[in-house]
């Protein structure tokens, strides 16, 4: 073989090896974010967090019983004619695919193996994670928490208050710090974004409540960064300047897509963990 032919041979081999390795890290997962009012999904390229198609949103069924929500998950899967992996985010504590709390959802969810229920309804392999843990994953990988070491707390403000705690980018799952006691009651009942609407509070009044809540978290954890997410975070200019914390505090970057992207990422992390467990 001539030198040129040999060179060409090795270049082709190197290039195909590179393609093979890249394919190993490239994974497409359908992310689905199950919220109180809407269920949104889109296929996600987990390598870069990009949505591969326009989000599809349907209203959350009323009542949002396990079987009704499972049907909606199957609808989203059908919409994308999806045959691969699915990651779902839900507003509850999730242990091994089972829902363990039901603060803002029907109590009929308690103990339900949602991963299994959704897998059966959609004929796909489905993983399930807490919604704020999912959003936190997405922010840590591609958003406001990118390359941030130390202790980072993501707080989502909506119907409830969700929290996701990261130590050097490692999630401590299911922290549920929105239910800490503040002024004698569940903090989310006093300071969640929906309380501002329901009680018609001015931004200033509601910000004081949020500030008190964040000071409570700060006093317990002394984080290095707070990330504020949830629908209200797009209006961060109205309230973040009124927060008096000594800790840096920033709005989430991925906004509405964080739950979808994070649910997809969580599927991928779970897959890697499962592989490591099997190998070990």
Instruction: Give the interface with ligand BGC as residue ranges (CB under 6 A).
Output: 91-93, 101, 103-104, 130-132, 156, 158, 160, 162, 176, 178, 188
Of residues 43 and 145, the one with the C-beta less far from ligand BGC: 145
CB of 53 to ligand BGC, least distance (A): 25
CB of 102 to ligand BGC, least distance (A): 8
From the list 279, 271, 278, the residue with the least C-alpha distance to 115 is 271
CB of 111 to ligand BGC, least distance (A): 15
Of residues 98 and 124, the one with the C-beta less far from ligand BGC: 98
Of residues 124 and 155, the one with the C-beta less far from ligand BGC: 155
The whole-angstrom separation of Cα 125 and Cα 85 is 5
CB of 113 to ligand BGC, least distance (A): 17
CB 260 within 8 A of CB 224: no
Residues whose CB is less than 8 angstroms from the CB of residue 245 and which lie 6 or more positions away in sequence, other chains included:
211, 214, 215, 218, 226
Of residues 124 and 217, the one with the C-beta less far from ligand BGC: 217
The neighbour count for residue 243, using CB atoms within 10 Å, is: 18
CB of 57 to ligand BGC, least distance (A): 17
Of residues 82 and 206, the one with the C-beta less far from ligand BGC: 206
CB 112 within 8 A of CB 98: yes
For ligand BGC, the nearest residue by Cβ is 160
The whole-angstrom separation of Cα 218 and Cα 64 is 35
């Amino acid at each position: 073989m001539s030198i040129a032919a040999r060179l060409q041979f090795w270049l082709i081999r190197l290039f195909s090896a590179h393609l093979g390795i890249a394919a190993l890290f490239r994974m497409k997962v359908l992310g689905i974010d199950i919220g109180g009012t809407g269920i949104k999904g889109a296929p996600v390229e987990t390598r870069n967090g990009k949505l591969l198609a326009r989000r599809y949103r349907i209203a959350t069924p009323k009542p949002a019983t396990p079987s009704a929500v499972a049907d909606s998950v199957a609808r989203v899967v059908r919409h994308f004619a999806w045959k691969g992996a699915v990651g779902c985010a839900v507003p509850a504590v999730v242990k091994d695919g089972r829902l363990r709390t039901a603060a803002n959802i029907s109590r009929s969810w308690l103990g339900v193996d949602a991963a299994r229920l959704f897998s059966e309804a959609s004929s796909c392999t489905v993983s399930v994670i807490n919604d704020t843990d999912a959003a936190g994953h997405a922010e840590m990988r591609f958003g406001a928490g990118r390359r941030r070491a130390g202790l980072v707390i993501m707080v989502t403000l909506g119907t409830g208050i969700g929290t996701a705690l990261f130590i050097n980018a490692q999630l401590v799952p299911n922290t549920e710090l929105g239910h800490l006691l503040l002024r004698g009651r569940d903090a989310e009942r006093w300071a969640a974004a929906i309380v501002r609407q329901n009680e018609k509070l001015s931004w200033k009044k509601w910000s004081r409540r949020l500030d008190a809540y964040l000071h409570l978290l700060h006093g317990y954890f002394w984080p290095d960064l707070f990330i504020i997410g949830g629908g209200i975070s797009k209006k961060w200019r109205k309230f973040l300047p009124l927060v008096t914390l000594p800790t840096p505090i920033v709005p989430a970057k991925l906004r509405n897509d964080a739950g979808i992207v994070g649910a997809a990422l969580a599927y991928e992390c779970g897959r890697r963990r499962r592989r490591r467990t099997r190998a070990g």
